[in-house]
Amino acid sequence: MSKDISNRQPLITVQEEANEEQARTQSVISADQQHSRHADAQRHRTRYVFMRIVTYVLLVALLLYAFFPIFWLVSTSFKSQGEAFFYPPTFWPHQFTLHSYQILPADQQGFVRYFANSLIVSVCTCLLTLLAAVPGGYVLSRFHFRGVRAVLLVILATQMFPYAVILISLYTLFRQLHMLNTYPALVLAFTTFSLPFSIWMVKGFCDTLPTDLEEAGRIDGLSRVGVLVRIVFPLIVPGVVAVGFFAFLNSWNELLYAVTLTTSPDMRTIPAGFIGTYVGEFQDRWPDMMAASVVVSLPIVILFTIFQKQLVSGLTAGAVKG
């Protein structure tokens, strides 16, 4: 019996040593795994921080690229005529002056007249575009007559023609009708390139509306016009605001049509008038032009601020159907 016990003791000792060795091996492996996971986490964090830094650097660079022209516009408007031509240029005016802003109200035959012309033409173009685009887009969205797709393609194809091609025809037509240097000529011309895209936008907004409400209105005795005015129009107000803003902005910034269809300074709009007033053969009045540009940008900024909610919802409302 004592001999068997003495023989088992070495076996137990060997087994314990094997277990201890296995435990040490597992602890080493566990430590290596933890170290590897920690190293992977550290690399992942370093990569994440690096990508964040690169992203922010790119965003800052894009912001500087986007806002530098605005900064230069405002900065130059506060410079004197001589400082505007310094080389190397000064990024901030050394002699801060409001002279370029002070002379604007007194320029009744120049800046004030151009501003009034642009305001009249842009508002009229916006209203005329909405008056035609809203019923046109609604009809093309709800009436499935033969050739509706062809009509849509023709409307869209008009956007493919260069403005110069259409402008020649418009100029010939308005000259024969003795409409050059008139507000109706400018309004009709500006409407020609705003209307096709506006119709497509209104159609996209109408496509997102369910037809159940319109059918209920028809059952209650409303005509098609009544359904459009009382049911559809209130639902697509954000889209209408977006379309109107698009038409107004296009008219406000249009240069080629305004230069071609107007020869009298009294009928020039802002873009055409600025070229003839502030840029000449013998003198370039850059500070005055920059100050005037800051002032004429204010209506667009104010309109966007007032209708920002409607514009954002309107621009996304027609993006997805259903």
Same domain, 42 and 171: no
pLDDT (0 to 100) of residue 27: 60
What is the C-alpha to C-alpha distance for residues 308 and 186, in angstroms, rounded to an integer?
A: 28
Is 78 within a domain?
Answer: no
Q: Based on C-alpha coordinates, what's the Rg of the chain?
A: 35
Q: Which amino acid is at 308?
A: Q
Is 91 within a domain?
Answer: no
Is 257 within a domain?
Answer: yes
What is the C-alpha to C-alpha distance for residues 193 and 200, in angstroms, rounded to an integer?
A: 13
Q: What is the pTM of this model?
A: 0.75
Domain coverage including residue 22 = 1-68
Both tokens of 292, joined, read 């005037």
pLDDT (0 to 100) of residue 9: 52
CATH number at residue 186: 1.10.3720.10
Tell me how far apart the 2 most distant CA atoms of the chain are, in Å.
133
Per-residue pLDDT tens digits of the chain, which is 322 residues long: 444 444 445 545 656 655 666 656 666 556 556 666 777 777 788 888 888 999 999 999 999 999 998 999 889 888 888 888 888 888 888 888 888 888 888 776 678 888 999 999 999 999 999 999 999 888 888 888 788 888 888 888 887 888 778 888 888 999 999 899 999 999 999 998 889 889 988 888 888 888 888 888 888 888 888 888 888 888 888 888 888 888 998 899 888 888 889 888 888 898 888 887 777 666 778 888 888 888 888 888 888 888 777 666 655 554 444 4
Is 84 within a domain?
Answer: no
Is 246 within a domain?
Answer: yes
| Domain stop point among 23, 45, 68 | 68
Is 94 within a domain?
Answer: no
Same domain, 29 and 148: no
Same domain, 118 and 178: yes
| Domain stop point among 24, 53, 68 | 68
pLDDT (0 to 100) of residue 120: 94
Same domain, 228 and 297: yes
Same domain, 17 and 153: no
pLDDT (0 to 100) of residue 322: 43
Is 95 within a domain?
Answer: no
What is the C-alpha to C-alpha distance for residues 189 and 183, in angstroms, rounded to an integer?
A: 10
Return phi, psi of residue 283, to 5°. -155, 135
How many domains is the chain partitioned into structurally? 2
